Structure 1
Amino acid sequence: MARPLFQSTMHSNTELALPYPALAAEIAALLADTSVHVPPRIVAPLHGGGSLFVMPGSDTQVAMTKVISFTPGNVGTARPTIQGDVLVLDVATGERRLLLDGPTVTARRTAAVSLLAAQRLAPNPDGPVLIVGAGVQGKAHLDAFAAGLGSRRFRIASRSASSAEQLAAHARLHGLEAEVVTDPDAALQDCPLVVTCTPASQAVLHATPRADAFVAAVGAFTPAMVELSPEFCRHFAEQGRIVVDTPEAEHEAGDLLQAGLEVAGMPTLTDVVLQGTATQKDLPVLFKSCGWAGWDLAAARLAMRVAATA
């Protein structure tokens, strides 16, 4: 199904406004900004198993609301599973300043959050990078790690061989090394950097990771979703460190909750940014990301600045 012209233009303009290194830096700046206000997001169930997400946020200058539909029934079709928009307002005047493509914001801010976590926490940032899941988030994370971490070598695993090959071709087109692998567990020993961004319907990683592993898990964002086995999660709790993106992970991190781990009190990305934590070369790190409207606000802030200088 062809994307309508106006959607294609909005997608391209949103991408240009949100370069990954600048977006990761903006996310770090937002976490240090005490004026940021992010109410709890609204999640409304939809008929057929989908969900409607309404995610507002503001600071002293920018207000935004992201309205996103998540439709699992679209998996395997030409229609995206995530659709919607981000409305950006000027706080002083109440005027609408920008309308951003919601799925593009979601993809880029999620990957930028993982990038920021890797920049601050990865014991061995040199790669190769194992990406499990070759959809929109797989591509976003590949691009983000290449742009912001300097990653050049990638291993790609996906339930869809054609999707994995397409992502590998995309990587090679941009001068990167990419290899499709069929067993992500076997690839763990070759890859100190790992990203899981699957539909989160079943565990895709079970084996013991490297001692210097950094794993960013972004696919599961409800208590019922999972992409890491309980044993995999408990390994990090017992032998390494687990960092979550926000305190809301206490109710949303399906991987950790189904592993029987006490998520409340785990360090957050805010703790990492504000307090600083020294990486330990022999201590693996699991970064569990569930999503937060603050990441969308960071994207809106950056897009506003880019638009002002255009």
Structure 2
Amino acid sequence: MPQPRWVDAATVRRSLSPDRARRLVRQALADGLDPSADPLRQAVPAGDGQLLVMPSANRRAAGVKVLSVAPGNPARDLERIQAVYVLMDTETLTPSVLIDGSAVTSLRTPAVSAVAMEALAPAVVDAAVVFGTGPQAVGHVEALLAIRHTPSVTVVGRRGEAARATAQRVSSLTGHGRLDVRALTVDDDAVEDAVRAAQVVVTATSAATPVLGDDWVADGACVVAIGSHEAHRRELGSGLLGRSLVVVEDLATAHREAGDVILAAAQGAMDWDDVHTLQDLVLGRVERASDRPNVFKSVGMAWQDLVIAEHVARH
């Protein structure tokens, strides 16, 4: 078997900008890609964490991302999530390219969120709040800045040191004009005021319970929740989901993995019949609400990785 070509994280970033990644994801949905055709994500307990296997295929290529999730890794100065992506052509299914899977995830997750934010966020975003201090927090700010001029960003973390470090990384994002960035901890009284004043709120945490109050988010604002993919975990409360326009990547996948929506529906706060998909947004079948919050709950799907990996391999 020929030796697969290796593509490292730096090459992934050079090959594809965050905004180009957004446009690729959006175009795939506009062209009729069916997210429901994705195979189920496989999760296997391993050590103190879990292994995830995410395969997908289209007419041209097939690929699989293998991830490890180790909650104790940050204390070891290692990433909580690590991954490798294997890309193959559909004719021979010979592995041709190995790609840094964490870099693929770091690009595709904000790209998917940006497709939703582009449709669900107000045209003017004066302030944004990001819960979380990992790579996805920075990636989502970068993705937002590519579609909206946003002069003020608040980073909220459990630990002040981590929040300040992430705020510093956000401040270093270039090409978007002057950026006022501040760091808060989750128990700071100023967090509620920041959320109430924000037009975009992103939750990119490992929390299992809601990180913001049900009544904090303003009508017309956009909330993006990306931190969990398990039925028993949530970052958003039932009250917030119940008063919001709710959008997910795929209904069947959300029924299995979107704990925020699953728990809110089980508690009678909302009805699954009122939930829309990202493709509905892209195709104009649903529009953002101005009289209530707009929530996009993402769990991540394998087709998104394949869209990014194909482009990286070609370039």
Task: Report the TM range for the smaller structure's normalisation.
Answer: 0.7 to 0.9
Which residue in the other structure is 1:83 paired with?
A: 82
Equivalent position amino acid for 2:218 in 1: R
Output the CA distance in 1 between the equivalents of 2:198 and 2:30. Answer: 32
How far apart, CA to CA, are the structure 2 residues paired with 1:172 and 1:280?
Answer: 31
Counting matched residue pairs gives 294
Structure-2 change in CA distance of 1:134 and 1:125 (3 Å): farther
Distance 1:35 1:112 in 2: 16
Q: Secondary structure at the match of 1:44?
A: strand
Deviations 1:206-242 (A, max 9, x none): 1331112100011121012121222222232xxxx11
What letter matches 1:258 in structure 2?
Answer: L
Shift of 1:97: 3.6
AA partner of residue 252 (structure 1): E
**Aligned partners of 1:125 and 1:193 also within 8 Å:** no
Question: Which residue type is aligned with residue 121 of structure 1?
Answer: L
CA RMSD of aligned residues (A): 2.1
Report deviation, 1:14: 1.6
Which of 206, 225, 232 lines up with 2:233 in the alignment? 225
Secondary structure of the corresponding residue to residue 88 of structure 1: strand
Instruction: Name the counterpart of 1:4.
Output: none
Paired position in structure 1 for 2:25:
27
Supply the distance in 2 between the matched residues of 1:110 and 1:218 (Cα, whole angstroms). Answer: 8
Alpha-carbon offset, residue 34 of structure 1: 4.7
Would you say 1:39 and 2:49 are equivalent positions? no
- Equivalents in 1 of 2:16, 2:260: separation in Å? 29
Q: Deviations over 1:254-297 (max 9, x none)?
A: 12222224446621101211244333433320111111101111
Alpha-carbon distance in 1 for matches of 2:173, 2:311? 25
Matches within 5 A, 1:1-310: 10-34=8-32, 37-48=37-48, 50-175=49-174, 176-181=179-184, 182=188, 183-206=190-213, 207-236=215-244, 241-247=245-251, 248-259=253-264, 260=267, 261-263=270-272, 266-305=275-314, 307=315
Q: Give the Å deviation of 1:186.
A: 2.3
* TM-score normalised to structure 1 length: 0.87
TM-score, normalization by structure 2 = 0.86
Q: Distance in 1 between matches of 2:306 and 2:134?
A: 24
Q: Report if aligned partners of 2:231, 2:258 keep a CA contact under 8 Å in 1.
A: yes
Identity %: 29
SS for the counterpart of 1:120 is: helix
Paired residues of 1:202 and 1:226 also in contact (CA < 8 A)? yes
Equivalents in 2 of 1:17, 1:113: separation in Å?
18
2:229, 2:257 within 8 Å by CA — same for their partners in 1? Answer: yes
**Partners in 2 of 1:275 and 1:174 — Cα distance?**
32
Contact 1:20 1:144 in 2 (8 A): yes
